[in-house]
């Protein structure tokens, strides 16, 4: 092994142990160490990874993720959410500002890109235009000084897998977009690397080719069984390809889960709106003791849903109380330090005073939130964000149905997209084309599938249901 596996106690000098340890602190440290060891056990582990740029922008914030061997993980999110930056940090093309990266149990922050045993496929393929397809695929192996017969065998094997054998003598400019993408994949395949990284590899292809390449990549992954991290802004790619999806926004992980989990149980409003086509419908309404009150309509929640609602706010109250206590403890420690003359110089005193001010401001905000949460628990009346997916709005004339004026009716073959306004929000329902005879339909009766509704807290936009 080129690089020594780093011991857990070596890797976090910033977490210096306090001088005196009570039993609870010791326990929490032990727990932390244990969970860290568990994380490192995974094939790829990112622990508290951050990326800061020179001009003060914080591109990736406290990224924590463990990826199992042979897993296909997709990072998805809008442009600028930090997904490509994270991928480039794993590849070693960007420095990790803080945090730790482990690949196959090895501390990899300081390992150079070529020594990380990683293969990467780029958005614009990055095939060397002056080399033939064969030479492009063989390039990295030649650089590594492999014997010619091994290189030839690997290139031919990969070419066969990707059906590009007949193009091996061509230069990249003589290939179509799809063929170039295959060569780019082939270049990664020949490496037989530990981890495959793919940075929006299908973005430059047309819609039809993208669909076929999507399935080819999945099949290729099943054949070669390489741990793969795939970055895309296309949620359909994420849903169709991933074993696990990591949804990102503004540098933060919003949710990690299987496609099903992410789709059916989004952690917050962002995830709910980002995943799913067409997007989830949202509007604000009031929660009044187990009933959702819209402008012209009411919807009674089931017992389980009410229970989940109450549990959400109780947990929130508990978390807020904990946060306030921790902050108060910190404030006390800092105040003690300031008054005990143990501060070394004026600069340290100034920074301590500044952080005290920040802590006090945070406490004030948390106390406001706590009061509000207590109020919600007590009064059982507050505003929430209501969300429902287009396929969960049914054409129905039953008891809970409501009348909607159709603004626009779009035919998509076997189904219609019906646009209507509901309680101040623009809604869209997917309805089977068999149910609609006239395209110029003016109004229709709908009902929400009550089990499938989503509720989000208005302040934090976190999922209640």
Partner 1 sequence: MRVEYVRNSSNAKKKVQTTKRELLIERIGSYIVLAILASIVVIPFYILLVSSFKTKGFIGFNNDPNPFSNMNFEGFKTALFGSIATFDDGSSKILLGLRNTFIIVLPSTVIGLFTSALSAYAAAKIRFKGRNVIFYIMLITTMIPGIVMMTPLVTIFTNLDLYNTYFPLMVPGMFGTAMCVFFLRQTFMAIPDDYIDAARLDGISHFKIFWKIVVPLSAPSLISQGILGFVAGYNDYLGPLLYLRGDDQWTVTLQTVLNEFLGQSSSNLYQALMAATVLSLIPTVVIFILCQKFFVKGIVNSGIK
Task: Work out which of 16, 143, 207, 412 binds partner 1, going by CB under 8 A.
Answer: 143
Closest separation in Å from C-beta 143 to partner 1:
5
The least distance separating partner 1 from the CB of residue 119, rounded to whole angstroms, comes to: 7
Shortest Cβ 125–partner 1 spacing (Å)? 8
Residue 136 vs 255, nearer CB to partner 1 = 136
Q: 47, 99 in Cβ contact below 8 A? A: yes
Instruction: Pick from 73, 103, 120, 262 the residue near partner 1 by CB under 8 A.
Output: 120
* CB environment 93-130: b (16+ within 10 A), e (fewer): ebebeebbbbbbebbbbebeeeebbbbbbebebebeee
Question: In this chain, which of 50, 97, 140, 423 binds partner 1, going by CB under 8 A?
Answer: 140
Complex with partner 1: residue 118 or 242, whichever CB lies closer: 118
CA dihedral over 270, 272, 274, 275, signed as positive or negative: positive
Q: How many residues does the chain have?
A: 465
Residue 3 binds partner 1, judged by CB under 8 A:
no
Which region, left, alpha or beta, applies to residue 78 given φ > 0 means left and ψ of -120 to 50 means alpha?
A: beta
Q: Which of 70, 97, 109, 126 binds partner 1 (CB under 8 A)?
A: 126
Residues with Cβ within 8 Å of 274's Cβ and at least 6 positions away in sequence, in order, are 76, 77, 78, 235, 247, 249
* Identified binder of partner 1 from the candidate list 8, 12, 93, 349, rule CB under 8 A: 93
Assess 146 for contact with partner 1 (CB under 8 A). no
Judging by beta carbons within 10 Å of its beta carbon (0-12, 13-18, 19+), is residue 140 exposed, middle or buried? middle
Token duo for residue 388? 């429902």
Number of residues that bind partner 1 (CB under 8 A): 21
Place of tokens 């500044």: 354
Residue (of 215, 251, 224, 237) closest to 81 by Cα position: 251
Angle between helices 133-143 and 148-161 (to 10 degrees): 130
**Minimum distance between the CB of residue 253 and partner 1, rounded to whole angstroms?**
24
Least distance in Å: CB of 170 to partner 1? 17
Shorter beta-carbon distance to partner 1: residue 204 or 359? 204
Q: Which one of 10-18, 116-124, 147-155, 343-351 is the stretch in contact with partner 1 (CB under 8 A)?
A: 116-124
Task: Give yes or no for residue 43 binding partner 1 (CB under 8 A).
Answer: no
CB of 175 to partner 1, least distance (A): 16
Rule CB under 8 A: which of 60-89 touch partner 1?
88
Q: Which of 27, 57, 98, 114 binds partner 1 (CB under 8 A)?
A: 114
Interaction mask 94-113, partner 1, x per CB under 8 A: -------------------x
92 in the Ramachandran plot: left (φ > 0), alpha (ψ -120 to 50) or beta? Answer: left
Closer CB to partner 1, 140 or 401, in the complex: 140
Q: Per rule CB under 8 A, is residue 122 in the interface with partner 1?
A: yes
- Which lies closer to partner 1 via its Cβ, residue 91 or residue 308? 91
Of the CA atoms within 13 Å of residue 60, those in its CB half-sphere come to 27
Query: Are 137 and 190 in contact, with CB atoms under 8 Å apart?
Result: yes
Burial letters 413-430, b for 16+ CB under 10 A, else e = eebbebbbebbebebbbb
Q: Confirm or reject binding of residue 273 to partner 1 (CB under 8 A).
A: no
Q: Is residue 57 a contact point for partner 1 (CB under 8 A)?
A: no
- Cis geometry, peptide bond prior to residue 324 (ω within 30 degrees of 0): no
Site residues, partner 1 (CB under 8 A): 88, 91-93, 113-115, 118-120, 122-124, 126, 128-130, 139-140, 143-144
């Amino acid at each position: 092994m080129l690089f020594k596996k780093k011991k857990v106690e070596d890797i976090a000098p910033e977490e210096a142990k306090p001088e005196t340890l009570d039993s609870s602190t010791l326990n929490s440290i032990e727990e932390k160490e244990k969970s860290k060891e568990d994380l490192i056990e995974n094939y790829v582990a990112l622990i508290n990874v951050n990326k800061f740029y020179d001009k003060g922008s914080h591109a990736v914030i406290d990224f924590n993720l463990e990826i199992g061997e042979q897993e296909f993980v997709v990072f998805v999110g809008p442009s600028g959410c930090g997904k490509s930056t994270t991928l480039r940090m794993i590849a070693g093309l960007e420095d990790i500002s803080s945090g730790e990266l482990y690949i196959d149990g090895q501390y990899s922050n300081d390992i150079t890109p070529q020594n990380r045993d990683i293969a990467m496929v780029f958005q614009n393929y990055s095939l060397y235009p002056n080399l033939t397809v064969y030479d492009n695929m063989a390039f990295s192996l030649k650089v590594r000084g492999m014997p010619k017969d091994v290189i030839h065998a690997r290139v031919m094997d990969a070419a066969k897998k990707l059906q590009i054998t007949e193009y091996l003598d061509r230069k990249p400019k003589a290939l179509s977009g799809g063929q170039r993408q295959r060569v780019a994949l082939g270049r990664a395949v020949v490496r037989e690397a530990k981890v495959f990284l793919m940075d929006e590899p299908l973005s430059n292809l047309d819609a039809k080719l993208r669909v076929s390449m999507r399935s080819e990549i999945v099949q290729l992954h099943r054949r070669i069984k390489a741990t793969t991290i795939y970055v895309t802004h296309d949620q359909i790619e994420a849903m169709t390809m991933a074993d696990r999806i990591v949804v990102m926004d503004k540098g933060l992980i919003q949710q990690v889960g299987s496609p099903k989990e992410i789709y059916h149980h989004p952690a917050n409003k962002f995830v709910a709106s980002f995943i799913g086509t067409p997007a989830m419908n949202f509007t604000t309404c009031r929660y009044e003791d187990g009933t959702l009150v819209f402008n012209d309509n009411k919807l009674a929640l089931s017992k389980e849903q009410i229970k989940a609602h109450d549990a959400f706010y109780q947990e929130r109250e508990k978390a807020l109380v904990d946060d306030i206590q921790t902050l108060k403890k910190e404030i006390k420690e800092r105040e003690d330090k300031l008054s005990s003359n143990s501060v070394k110089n004026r600069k340290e005193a100034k920074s301590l005073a500044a952080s005290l001010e920040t802590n006090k401001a945070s406490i004030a905000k948390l106390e406001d939130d706590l009061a509000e949460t207590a109020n919600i628990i007590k009064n059982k009346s507050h505003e929430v964000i209501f969300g429902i997916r287009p396929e969960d709005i049914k054409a129905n004339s039953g008891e809970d149905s409501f009348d909607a004026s159709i603004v626009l009716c779009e035919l998509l073959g076997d189904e219609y997209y019906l646009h209507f306004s509901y309680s101040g929000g623009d809604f869209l329902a997917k309805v089977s084309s068999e149910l609609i005879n006239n395209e110029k339909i003016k109004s229709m009766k709908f009902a929400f599938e009550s089990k499938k509704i989503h509720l989000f807290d208005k302040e934090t936009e976190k999922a209640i249901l």
